[in-house]
């Protein structure tokens, strides 16, 4: 199944736009697991088991695993998600960006070692840094476009000789000539709803991966109203709205899984209100 088809099916089945980011920090784990990196799989798998119904996708961040020498636990987690939530796509947040044979190796890592459904990429080395990933024709590729951090403006808001801002140019490329497989999307931060709306205007059908809701302060209602679009009662411009810390660490107690589920359900409801408003 192509990534975009799996994403659409998950949105319908779970009635959700919520992506849960899996960013494990052992210092924030509950009880006896605190400060124990060997419990990364146990913590993340418990979160998955508790939230698999209210979510559209999961997004494990590679750095949180690699920093703890826990890549083997990430492999186990990816396999666990495929078994526990087979209809929920997994976006590997790796932000890779390189060319030639190095990009090919990164693609092997994401799609063959970890069996991800999609990956985040930095497009700033140009099309030949994206092209090796397109060999995986069914996989999703989310290009960094307008990121949620304030420093993103240092480059992404620079005006080109064409008159476009750089992030607008990336959106045009993703919607047009670079999208040879039909599986490209863009990353646009929830902290910039006006930019979300502009990217949606330039890329009306692409999936938007939108981080920044929750701990980073993005507004769920404004985010979905700016980015989600429908046609004939079905999603035509999908959004994948990520929340990590606000769900993972909703509680530090033994009831952390139930608290994570409650936070996920509350966020899903907020996003659904935005979807209704976007209509």
Confidence (pLDDT) at 222: 82
pLDDT digits (tens, 9 = 90+) for 221-236: 888 888 988 887 788 8
pLDDT digits (tens, 9 = 90+) for 95-126: 999 999 999 999 999 999 999 999 999 999 99
Are the CB atoms for 157 and 192 separated by under 8 Å?
no
Bridge partner residues of 91 (DSSP): 118
**pTM of the predicted model as reported, rounded to 2 decimal places:** 0.96
The residues, any chain, with a CB within 8 Å of residue 26's CB and separated by 6 or more, are 33, 34, 35, 36, 37, 39, 40, 68
Instruction: Name the average pLDDT for the chain.
Output: 94
Report helix, strand or coil for 82.
helix
Are the CB atoms for 238 and 207 separated by under 8 Å?
yes
Residue 138: CA count within 13 A, CB half-sphere: 10
How far apart CA 183 and CA 7 sit, in angstroms, is: 11
pLDDT at 257 over 90: yes
pLDDT at 212 over 80: no
Bridge partner residues of 186 (DSSP): 143, 208
**Annotated active-site residue in 6, 28, 83, 95:** 95
Instruction: Note if 52 is an active site residue.
Output: no
User: What are the extents of the domains in the chain?
Assistant: 3-171+180-278
Helix 256-278 × helix 40-51 angle, to 10°: 50
Report helix, strand or coil for 41.
helix
CATH topology classification for 3-171+180-278:
TIM Barrel (3.20.20)
Nearest CA-CA partner of 81 in 22, 15, 2: 22
pLDDT digits (tens, 9 = 90+) for 178-209: 999 999 999 999 888 899 999 999 999 999 99
Tell me the H-state helices in the chain.
3-14, 40-51, 62-66, 71-84, 100-108, 153-156, 166-175, 193-202, 220-227, 245-248, 256-278
Label residue 218 by pLDDT band (50, 70, 90): low
Confidence (pLDDT) at 71: 98
The residues, any chain, with a CB within 8 Å of residue 241's CB and separated by 6 or more, are 17, 18, 19, 190, 210, 213, 220, 223, 224, 267, 271
Rg (CA), the chain: 18
Q: How many CB atoms lie within 10 A of CB 205?
A: 16
């Amino acid at each position: 199944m192509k990534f975009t088809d799996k994403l659409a099916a998950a949105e319908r089945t779970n009635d959700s736009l919520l992506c849960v980011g899996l960013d494990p920090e052992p210092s924030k784990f509950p009880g006896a697991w605190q400060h124990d990196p060997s419990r990364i799989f146990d913590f993340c798998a418990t979160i998955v088991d508790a939230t698999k119904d209210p979510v559209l996708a999961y997004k494990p961040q590679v750095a949180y695993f690699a920093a703890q020498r826990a890549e083997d636990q990430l492999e186990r987690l990816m396999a666990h998600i495929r078994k526990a939530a087979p209809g929920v796509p997994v976006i590997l947040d790796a932000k890779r960006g390189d060319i030639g044979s190095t990009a090919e190796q990164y693609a092997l890592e994401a799609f063959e070692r970890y069996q991800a459904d999609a990956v985040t990429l930095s497009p700033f080395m140009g099309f030949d840094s994206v092209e090796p990933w397109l060999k995986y024709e069914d996989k999703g590729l989310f290009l960094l476009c307008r990121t949620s951090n304030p420093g993103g403006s240092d480059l992404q808001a620079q005006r080109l000789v064409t008159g476009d801002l750089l992030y607008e140019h990336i959106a045009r490329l993703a919607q047009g000539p670079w999208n040879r497989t039909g599986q490209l999307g863009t990353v646009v931060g929830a902290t910039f709803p006006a930019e979300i709306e502009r990217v949606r205007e330039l890329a009306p059908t692409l999936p938007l991966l939108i981080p920044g809701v929750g701990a980073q302060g993005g507004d769920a209602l404004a985010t979905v109203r700016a980015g989600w679009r429908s046609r004939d009662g079905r999603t035509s411009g999908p959004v994948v709205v990520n929340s990590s810390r606000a769900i993972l660490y909703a509680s530090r107690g033994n009831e952390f899984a139930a608290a994570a589920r409650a936070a996920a359900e509350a966020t899903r409801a907020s996003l659904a209100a935005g979807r209704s408003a976007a209509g």
